[in-house]
Structure 1
């Protein structure tokens, strides 16, 4: 009886399933949602970091951790089904897991890095959402309209950056994939939200050896991302200044873009 009461209590709270939770943007999103009283399913490869994160959150015992590699689709889907079975479903699913590395097409050895980046950043997003869609579509209409599938893109997906072929391609794919999914699910009422971060202060960006305009603290980013998700925005660039830059980049003719970025600094090729 006590267990049933606890489960009903959890179902009255927002239920968030989040990949890439052990550091950076994922960790900041987890902290922000936990501060709002959500119950979390936290996914990442590193078990110790996940457990440390859970222990630091309000009501730590309410959250679940799933230590796995998101490219192991069977294990990822098992975690998703376990979370839904325990908490009765999910309200917000965030495909945040992502890696970045400089890649250059002229080097054959960079092919493995290219494939790994696409597998983590793109294919795993599909695998993250897949277990939840049918369950969300089966909900009553008023409940479906509270559901969110969230893809974390990047301004690097707006136009290809030199030396970052794989990362730019992966984030462009995430943006396009989420747009396709958004249109597909429009009639259901389920919102698909694409959040495209600019430069956010995380371990991923701290290795960059070049100036990063409009660099934003990760906790500030998380707060703004949560608002965009709650509002069901179809697409939001954060910070807004990078959104202006992104629009200009979209409009720039190829000759102008090529001239401006041909000598742009490159991301390091080694992780």
Structure 2
């Protein structure tokens, strides 16, 4: 039997909660009075962070899972249902970003890894909770996409494709759940200051902190937005780029530094 816990504080389930945006959003929700269900491959990192933040042990639970393995993340969701109940908000935040060169055979494996994590992993994150949310008649499923999903960038083929797929998938799911009381929210971060983005070899306009993103993201989810670019300035930039004819767009990006391929990033 699922633990529904009607008298408890609302619950948020967040993947990729061991660092970056996941931790920042978790802290925002904790401060708003939520209970936390935090998912990552390394739960010790979550535990260290929770301890450093002084989180009440009664208000959070960690689950070890690798979102690139469907059974792993589905099992984590099922454990959450049994131990904490049906979440009010599920945020599929876990994702990876690696450059690729289609001429390189090994980079096809990189693309497979990206799609398994950023796309199948996102759907598998939502899967355990949909029936419970529909039966309850409420809830929010949040997919973290990217402005990189709006138009392709040289050297970013796998990442851009995966984030474009997140946008399309969430739009499809939103239509499927229309009238059920379950909302589907698509968030598109621009450039966020994290250890990985600091290695980027190109300019990052409107760069914002993970904490600033988390504040706006939580507010957007609470408002019931179905689609939101954060920060809004990047939304304007993305729309302008989308409107450019292909020939002009290609010229604009000519010579732009490319994202690090696998093995080129420095270790964290």
Matched, 1:228 2:185: no
Can you list the C-alpha shifts for 1:7-31, whole angstroms capped at 9, x where unaligned?
848x531201110010111111111
Matched, 1:200 2:196: no
Residue of structure 2 equivalent to 1:25: 21
* 3-state SS of 1:186 partner: coil
Residue of structure 2 equivalent to 1:188: 180
Specify which of 127, 130, 134 is matched with residue 130 of structure 1.
127
Which runs of structure 2 are paired with 1:36-185 in the superposition (5 Å)?
36-55=32-51, 56-139=53-136, 141=137, 144=138, 147-185=139-177
Gap regions ≥5 residues in structure 1: 1-6
| Count of aligned residue pairs for this structure pair | 260
Larger helix fraction of residues: 1
Matched, 1:15 2:11: yes
Q: In 1, are the aligned partners of 2:74 and 2:125 still within 8 Å (CA)?
A: yes
How big is the shift at 1:87? 2.4
Gap regions ≥5 residues in structure 2: none
What RMSD over aligned residues (CA atoms) do the two structures have, in Å? 1.6
How big is the shift at 1:57? 4.8
Can you list the C-alpha shifts for 1:179-234, whole angstroms capped at 9, x where unaligned?
11111111212110000000000122111122210000110000000011111111
Q: In 2, are the aligned partners of 1:54 and 1:65 still within 8 Å (CA)?
A: no
Can you list the C-alpha shifts for 1:62-92, whole angstroms capped at 9, x where unaligned?
2110122112222222221221222231100
In 2, Cα distance between the equivalents of 1:235 and 1:246? 14
In 2, Cα distance between the equivalents of 1:171 and 1:198? 12
In 2, Cα distance between the equivalents of 1:195 and 1:151? 6
Q: In 2, are the aligned partners of 1:96 and 1:152 still within 8 Å (CA)?
A: yes
In 1, Cα distance between the equivalents of 2:261 and 2:88? 37
* 3-state SS of 1:94 partner: strand
In 2, Cα distance between the equivalents of 1:24 and 1:185? 30
Can you list the C-alpha shifts for 1:125-147, whole angstroms capped at 9, x where unaligned?
000001111111111x4xx1xx1
* 3-state SS of 2:26 partner: helix
In 2, Cα distance between the equivalents of 1:57 and 1:32? 14
Q: In 2, are the aligned partners of 1:50 and 1:67 still within 8 Å (CA)?
A: no
TM-aligned CA distance change 1:168 to 1:57, over 3 Å:
farther
TM-aligned CA distance change 1:229 to 1:57, over 3 Å:
farther
Q: In 2, are the aligned partners of 1:155 and 1:242 still within 8 Å (CA)?
A: yes
* 3-state SS of 2:114 partner: helix
* 3-state SS of 1:187 partner: coil
Specify which of 210, 223, 231 is matched with residue 202 of structure 2.
210
